[in-house]
Structure formats: C-alpha cells, structure tokens
C-alpha cells in the first residue's frame, strides 16, 4: 500500500479520533454541533477518497468520486455554519440563504454529468473528468469557506477576549493550509501536473481547528512559532551531524560494506541514543536562543519572573517579598504599573501594600465585602478586566470600583490564593506597548501565583507573630524596668546602676559580635541582676563605712535571692543563670558557688565585667568614684585571672571609642538624696 492510499486512511483515523475527543471533552457551545458535522464531513471525504482510489472499476470509482464531491461541499457548508455559531455573527439573510441554496443546488447536480462526467487515470492515480459546471461547483465550495474566513477575521478584530482571538488564529491558519491543499486537488483535472494535497491540508486543518475548540486557554501562534523554530534548529543540527557521519562512513567503507546497509545499521543502533542524549539537552539551548531573539530586552526579566518563587522562597519579610514581586512582575510583563493589595489584619479590607511603575496607587483599595474582592476569591486564573464573559461578576462591579480600576488603568487581575483563602490581589495596569496580555503571560502569572501566595501567607504569619512577640516584649520590658526601679528606691545612692550595667553589658556583647537576640537577653539580665537586694536591709545598703563579715555575707546572698525571685519566670534567655553567676570569677574566687572558667556562662562573664566597671567608676556610700581609667586598669590587670579575656578585649575596644557607652561612665553621676 502506497501513500496514494495511506494518506486518506490517516485522515479517516485522525477525524474519527477528533470526533471522539470532541464528544468526550468538547465544551457545551452553540458551535459544537456544526463543528461536529464539519468533522464528520471530513471523515466521509477521506473514506470516499480511499474507496475511490482502491476501486478496480472506473464506474465504481466514479460513484465514490461523486460522494467525495458531496463530502467536500458539505464540509465547506458546515464550516460556514460553524463560524456563524462560533462568533454569534448575524449575516445578511440574502447571503445566508444564498449559501444554503448553492449547497442544495450543487448536491442535486452532483449525480449528473454536469460537474464530474467520468474518471481517468493520471500519473499519480485516478482523477475526475470535469463537466461544464465544474467551475460553478468549485465556486460554491469556496464561497462558504471564504465567508467563514471573513467572519472569523472580523470577529477577531472586534473581540476584546484574547482567548477567542487566539482560537480564531488557529482556525484561520488551518483554513489557509486547507485552501492550498484543496486547490491542488483541482489542478490535475485542469492539466497541471501537481500531486493533489487536499487530504493533507484537511488533516492539518482538522487538527488545528479541533485543538482550538477543545482548549479555551490556547497558547499564542507566536509561542507555537518559537517552539517550532527551536525544534527545527535542533533537528537540523542533528541531521547535519549524523548525516555527515553516515556519508563519511559510507565513503570510507565503500569497498567493504554497502552504504545502504551501513546507514540502516548505524541509524537503528543510535536512534535512541540520539533522541535521549543529544536532542533533549540541545532543545532548551535552542529554545533559549530563539526566545532571546523574540523577546530581546524582555527576556532576562521573564527569566527572573520564572525563577521568582525559587529565589524568594526563603524570604519571610513581607516588605522585601512584596517589593520583589511587584518589581519582577512589572518588568517581566512590561506593565506600566503593578500593585499588590494585601488584607488588613483588623478589617480584612484589601489595600495597596506595594507598587512599582509609573502610577501611584492613590485610593486603590477594596472592602472585604466588595464585589471585586468576592469575585477574586473564586478566581483561579488571571482575569482581564474586559473579559466580562469569563467572569460575569466583573460586569456588575459598582461604579466606584470601576472608577478606581479605570483611574489606575488596571487591565489584569491575579488572585493570590492558598487553598480557598485569598491572601492578596495582584493588579497589572496596561502594557507599555499597549498590547493585550497574552495567554502565555497569564499562564506564567498563574504558574507562580500559588507559590507566591504561600510565600505571602507565610510572611504575613511571621509578621503577625513578630507583632505579638513585640507586644509581649514591650510588656515584659515594662515589668522588668518596674522591678529595677523598685530596687533603686531602696538604694538611692546607686540609682541608675542596673540601667547602666545593662547598657554597658549589651554594648560589650555587640562588640563581641553576639546576635541581637542574645544581646537583648544580656540587657534584661543587667536590669535584673541586683533584684535580690530587696532582701538586704536598707541600712546595710547605705552604710557609709566598711561592711563587717556578717553584713558582707548578707550582701553576697543577693545573687541567690535574685535567682529565687526570678525562678518562676520562663525567660527566652538564660537570664536567671546570668543573674546568679554574675559575681563568679574565672579562678573560682567569686560567689555564690565558686564556679571556675567554663562553668560560668558567657552572659554572666559579660555581666560581671560590666558590673565591676560601673561600680568602680561610680560613687558608693563608703568611697567616692574611682573613675573609668581605674576600672579599666582593674579588669586589664585581672584579664584571664578573674575576667574573661574576650570580654576584656571588647571593653578595651569600646574604651577607644569616644562615643561609646563605656566612655559615658566618665561623666559625673548625680547622687539622689
């Protein structure tokens, strides 16, 4: 069986598959029935062509050829009916009835010899002998096709729905192929030696038209063109390389092996390896080259947008994430402006959080109960503001909502959802090029919207935690300062001591490079390190002379008392341990437990040095202030003996800074009486 018979069998198989696919997956649409009849006519065309070509008798072949003419005319007629239904066009009654009249008339004339009078054998196979009205038949077959094409073109120009326009592009492209192929069928009968390609054109057209009908969210023809060029380049390179190898090997082994057998063997062995190891890795490279040529300066922005979710998945700062999102979307989509609306934690109203572009948002916000917000909660796909048939609710927006969108030139709305929860709305204004947002643009935005929504949801949750955490910390700070002040009211001579120790300890910790969270814990410990002095009698605290052993033992107990007071409080830092150990020393000479070196936590080592420096630098009931220089001399001399070397080094670094907290201890300290 040669291609003369195989080609119609291919068309029969394809149209039958498409008919089944349309019946199973086709959407309910007024154009579905005429399109089904059109496909059925195409399948009959292929069937009758096959029967005609396989007939041994010319009389039988003529019978099937007349059925072919009926199928061709029916296909053209039902295609016209299909385009009218698809576009909801209202053709003139005279034109509409004329098409029907021509169809009926030609069907009635086909059994006569006026259109086809017999069969003849041509160089490629059987062909009809045309009758005197053959030209009229051709005109009757082309007329509905041309009218259908005109209807599609007019509708495409008027339509603001990008999906409809793209669907029309597919059908028009298929029609052009079918026109060319169908014309070649008539040429041999007119004496022109050209192989009839009508069936091939029908195969291409049926495939394109069915894809257009089954898929509403089509890729643009530009996308298909880009992908086709990339495949063609990759295939051409492979063909060149392996064609050259085959030619070379055939020449080298010409005396030993047959070139044909060598070629067959070589190709059969390597065909799988070629497809897997070469074609697939090369295709992305060629696709990248083609895309870069198509998109030019926009290419890098599009790649950034495609990588956005992977590159920002670790960002939990909502401001940083939102700023990156609107910038990447605006550049990738070439939008004049892009706005990100987030819900208010208190009201749920969606207000502008971040924007990028030429237009400031002004009053771009929507109530949680607004029609626009409620609509976006149900949208899983980006919506063009003009596509009211895609989302009918958009057509009943309030005048105020429409005015807000119009002032900001909003054209595309993207809902950012996690499950059924709307966490944000992305609004894109018109493009810089004034072109519409293509289905490819929308597919990309839809693809990243889910991951972006999860990122925003996580960032908002983290911000909420941070806010509540901050409120708790503020409350805790208030309580801590209150406790610190209570201690100072019992010992006015050392008023401000705990605050100064806390500030100095925090400054030392920062100089040592500790995380800010740890610094905060050390500062809290500084504010509370002498809270145990509440148990020390006031006369001992303010005694002007030296303390005896009993009195000193009472003073030394304040570390343990401080620990006991704080024991029931669950701090997020080792505050209690630092307070208990801040009088411990590296050589074990400290109190209350005589700990040494590594047994003392770092917070306590820092707090202990800060306490010593502040105490020496300030006035005491039993002596005047000895000054900062004396305090520094003390800790430097005892570095590594009593005090941690790293802590002392940090103090020395602070001492060199004239503006440091440490230097402020040189200022006179007021004594409150």
313-327, 486-500, 600-614, 620-634: which is most confident: 600-614
Assess whether pLDDT exceeds 60 at residue 189: no
Model pLDDT, residue 637: 92
* Continuous segment of H or E residues that includes residue 342: strand 337-343
For the ranges 4-18, 257-271, 343-357, the lowest mean pLDDT is seen at 257-271
Q: Domains in the chain, start-ordered, CATH in brackets?
A: 3-218 (1.20.1070.10), 225-295 (no CATH), 303-459 (3.30.450.40), 491-666 (1.10.3210.10)
What number is the average pLDDT over the span 310-325?
75
Q: Is 330 helix (H, G, I), strand (E, B) or coil?
A: helix
User: Which parts of 419-511 are beta strand (E)?
Assistant: 421-429
Tens of pLDDT, residue by residue over 346-398, are 888 888 888 888 767 667 888 888 888 888 888 777 888 766 555 565 667 77
Res. 217: pLDDT tops 50: no
pLDDT digits (tens, 9 = 90+) for 49-62: 888 888 888 888 88
- On whether the CB atoms of residues 630 and 604 are closer than 8 A, the answer is no
Is the pLDDT at 600 greater than 90, yes or no?
yes
Q: DSSP for 290-318?
A: HHHHHHTTHHHHHHHHHTHHHHHTT---H
| Secondary structure letter of residue 219 according to DSSP | P
Q: Is the pLDDT of residue 508 over 90?
A: yes
Given a cut of 70, whether residue 527 has pLDDT beyond it is yes
In degrees and rounded to multiples of 5, residue 10 shows phi and psi of -60, -45
Could you read off the pLDDT of 398-450 as tens digits, one per residue? 778 888 888 888 888 888 888 778 888 999 888 887 877 777 777 778 878 88
Among candidate residues 636, 634, 604, 637, the one with its CA nearest the CA of residue 616: 634
**Least confident window among 126-135, 208-217, 398-407, 488-497:** 208-217
Q: pLDDT: is 7 or 528 the higher one?
A: 528
C-alpha neighbours within 13 Å on the C-beta side of residue 251: 6
Query: In the prediction, which pLDDT does 581 show?
Result: 93
pLDDT of residue 587: 92
In the structure encoding, which two tokens stand for residue 86, read together? 């698809």
pLDDT over 80 at 104, yes or no: yes
What distance in Å separates the CA atoms of residue 574 and residue 514, rounded to the nearest whole number?
14
Average pLDDT of the residues in 511-529: 89
Residue 275 near residue 311, CB atoms below 8 Å: no
pLDDT of residue 650: 93
Find all residues with CB under 8 Å of 349, minimum gap 6, and list them: 343, 365, 366, 367, 368
Other beta carbons within 10 Å of 454: 17
**Which of 78-92, 180-194, 264-278, 605-619 holds the top average pLDDT?**
605-619
pLDDT mean over 626-652? 91
- CA 77 and chain centroid, separation: 45
Mean pLDDT, to the nearest integer, of 293-314? Answer: 63
pLDDT at 205: 62
pLDDT at 265 over 60: no
> Between 249 and 643, where is the model more confident?
643
Phi, psi of 105 (to 5 degrees): -60, -45
- In a 13 Å sphere around the CA of 337, the CA atoms on its Cβ side amount to 19
Q: Is the pLDDT of residue 219 over 50?
A: no
Q: What is the pLDDT of residue 588?
A: 92
pLDDT averaged over the chain? 75
- The mean per-residue pLDDT over the stretch 634-655 comes to 92
Q: Are 217 and 439 in contact (CB under 8 A)?
A: yes
Strand partners, 340: 354, 426
365-366 β-sheet, strand order: 365-366, 350-357, 337-343, 421-429, 410-418, 383-384
DSSP state of 216: S
- Say if residue 643's pLDDT is above 90: yes
| Confidence at residue 548, expressed as pLDDT on a 0 to 100 scale | 73
Span 489-515, average pLDDT = 81
The per-residue pLDDT for 220 is: 47
Predicted confidence band of residue 272 (pLDDT cuts 50, 70, 90): very low
Over 60: is that where the pLDDT of 473 sits? yes
Distance from first CA to last CA of the chain, Å, rounded?
Answer: 118
**What confidence tier does 493 reach under pLDDT thresholds 50, 70, 90?**
low
pLDDT of residue 260: 53
As a whole number of angstroms, the distance between CA 247 and CA 267 comes to 12
pLDDT at 669 over 50: no
Partners of 128 in beta bridges: 119
Residue with tokens 């396989």: 54
* Percent of the chain residues past pLDDT 90, beyond the cut: 10
Q: Do the Cβ atoms of 324 and 417 come closer than 8 Å?
A: no
More confident residue, 659 or 512: 512
This prediction has a pTM of 0.44
Provide the pLDDT for residue 602. Answer: 94
- Could you tell me which residue, 261 or 546, shows the higher pLDDT? 546
How many Cβ atoms sit within 10 Å of the Cβ of residue 463? 15
| Interatomic CA distance for residues 199 and 205, integer angstroms | 10
For residue 650, the SS3 value is helix
pLDDT for the residue 528: 85
Q: What is the mean pLDDT of residues 173-201?
A: 61
Place of tokens 């039958």: 16
Residue 586 has pLDDT above 90, yes or no: yes
Contact call for residues 540 and 555 (beta carbons, < 8 A): yes
pLDDT band at 221 (very low <50, low <70, confident <90, very high): very low
Higher pLDDT, 436 or 654: 654
Residue 65 has pLDDT above 60, yes or no: yes
pLDDT, residue 601, reads 94
Q: Which of 69-83, 98-112, 305-319 has the lowest mean pLDDT?
A: 305-319
Distance CA(387)–CA(162), nearest Å, equals: 8
- Would you say residue 545 has pLDDT above 60? yes
pLDDT at residue 574 greater than cutoff 70: yes
Mean pLDDT, residues 549-558:
78
């Amino acid at each position: 069986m040669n291609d003369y018979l195989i080609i119609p069998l291919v068309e029969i198989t394809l149209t039958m598959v498409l008919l089944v696919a349309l019946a199973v997956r086709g959407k309910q649409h007024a154009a579905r029935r005429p399109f089904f009849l059109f496909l059925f006519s195409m399948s009959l065309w292929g069937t009758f062509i096959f029967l005609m070509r396989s007939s041994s008798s010319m009389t039988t072949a003529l019978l099937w050829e007349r059925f072919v003419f009926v199928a061709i005319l029916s296909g053209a007629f039902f295609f016209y009916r299909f385009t009218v239904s698809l576009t909801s066009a209202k053709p003139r009654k005279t034109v509409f009835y004329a098409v029907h009249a021509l169809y009926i008339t030609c069907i009635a004339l086909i059994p006569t010899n006026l259109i086809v009078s017999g069969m003849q054998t041509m160089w490629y196979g059987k062909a009809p002998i045309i009758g005197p009205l053959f030209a009229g038949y051709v005109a009757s077959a082309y007329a509905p096709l041309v009218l259908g094409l005109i209807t599609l073109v007019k509708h495409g120009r008027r339509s603001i729905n990008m999906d409809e326009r793209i669907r029309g592009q597919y059908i028009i492209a298929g029609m052009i192929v079918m026109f060319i192929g169908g014309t070649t069928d008539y040429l041999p009968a007119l004496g022109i030696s050209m192989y009839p390609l009508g069936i091939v054109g029908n195969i291409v057209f049926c495939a394109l038209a069915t894809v257009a009908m089954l898929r509403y969210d089509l890729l643009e023809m530009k996308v298909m063109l880009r992908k086709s060029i990339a495949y063609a380049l990759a295939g051409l390179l492979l063909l060149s390389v392996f064609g050259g190898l085959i030619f070379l090997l055939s020449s080298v082994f010409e005396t030993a092996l047959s070139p044909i057998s060598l070629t067959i063997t070589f190709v059969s062995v390597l065909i799988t390896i070629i497809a897997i190891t070469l074609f697939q890795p090369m295709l992305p490279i060629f696709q990248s080259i083609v895309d870069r040529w198509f998109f030019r300066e926009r290419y890098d922005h599009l790649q950034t947008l495609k990588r956005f979710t992977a590159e920002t998945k670790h960002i939990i700062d909502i401001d940083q994430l939102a700023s990156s999102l609107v910038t990447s979307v605006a550049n990738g989509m070439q939008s004049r402006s892009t706005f990100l609306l987030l819900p208010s934690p208190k009201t749920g109203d969606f207000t502008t959080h971040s924007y990028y572009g030429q237009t400031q948002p002004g009053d771009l916000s929507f109530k949680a109960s607004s029609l626009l917000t409620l609509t976006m909660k149900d949208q899983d796909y980006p919506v063009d503001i003009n596509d009211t048939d895609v989302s009918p609710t958009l057509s009943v927006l309030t005048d105020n909502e429409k005015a807000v969108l119009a002032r900001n030139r909003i054209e595309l709305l993207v809902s950012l959802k996690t499950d059924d929860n709307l966490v944000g709305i992305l609004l894109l204004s018109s493009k810089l090029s004034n072109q519409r947002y293509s289905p490819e643009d929308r597919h990309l935005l839809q693809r990243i919207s889910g991951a972006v929504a999860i990122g925003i949801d996580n960032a908002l949750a983290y911000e909420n935690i941070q806010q509540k955490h901050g409120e708790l910390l503020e409350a805790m700070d208030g309580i801590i300062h209150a406790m610190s002040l209570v201690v100072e009211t019992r010992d006015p001579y050392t008023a401000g001591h705990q605050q100064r120790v806390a500030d100095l300890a925090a400054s030392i910790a920062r100089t040592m490079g500790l995380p800010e969270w740890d610094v905060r814990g050390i500062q809290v410990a500084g504010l509370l390190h002498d809270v145990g002095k509440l148990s020390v009698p006031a006369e001992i605290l303010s005694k002007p002379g030296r303390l005896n052993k009993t009195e000193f033992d009472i003073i030394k107990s304040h570390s343990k008392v401080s620990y006991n007071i704080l024991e029931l409080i669950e701090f997020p830092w080792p505050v209690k341990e630092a307070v208990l150990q801040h009088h411990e020393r590296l050589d074990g000479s400290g109190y209350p437990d005589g700990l040494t070196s590594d047994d003392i936590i770092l917070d306590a080592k820092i707090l202990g040095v800060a306490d010593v420096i502040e105490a020496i630098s300030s006035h005491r009931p039993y002596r005047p202030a000895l000054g900062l220089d004396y305090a520094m001399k003390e800790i430097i001399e005892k570095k590594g003996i009593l005090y941690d070397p790293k802590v002392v080094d940090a103090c020395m670094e602070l001492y060199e800074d004239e503006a440091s907290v440490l230097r402020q201890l040189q200022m006179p300290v007021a004594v409150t009486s």
